[in-house]
Amino acid sequence: MKRLLLLGTMLAWSAAAGAQDSVPDQCPSAALPVIEQTDVATIEQNSETSAVIQIDVAAALPDGRALSYLYSAHSGTIVGEGPRATWTVEGAGPFTASVEVAAANDPCKSHAHFTYLMAPTPSE
């Protein structure tokens, strides 16, 4: 199991993404998508409790086949079906989301999990 933790701060907001590849027992490594990198960035700040976040996932299969991406979130709305998605959240958080990466009609899948934390903006 591989775990990657990315931390970043944009304006007064902070985001963290944890990526974890899951390897089912029946999947040979040549059939398993490799999630090489995940990036999470705030692209719009609407208030101290509302944000639009961009998620970028770099993934590939060893044999070069095309991949599909399926995003889900416990809170907020995710729009996107490819390697880039937009996630809109409201509330106090923290917020969690996931992406499942697979080749068409292939049972072998990898997953990345994201947690987004909003920090209050400093008072002027």
The residue extents of the domains of the chain are 2-117
Q: Which pair of structure tokens corresponds to residue 68? A: 């599909």
pLDDT of 121: 61
Q: Does domain 2-117 have CATH number 1.10.20?
A: no
Q: How many angstroms separate the CA atoms of 122 and 124, rounded? A: 6
pLDDT tens digits in sequence order for the chain, 124 residues long: 322 223 332 222 233 333 344 444 578 877 889 999 999 988 888 777 889 999 999 999 988 899 999 999 988 999 998 999 999 999 878 899 999 999 988 889 999 998 888 766 655 4
Nearest to 69 by CA among 28, 59, 22: 59
- The pTM of this model reads 0.73
Between CA 115 and CA 104 the distance in angstroms is: 27
The reply to whether omega before 94 is within 30° of 0 (cis) is yes
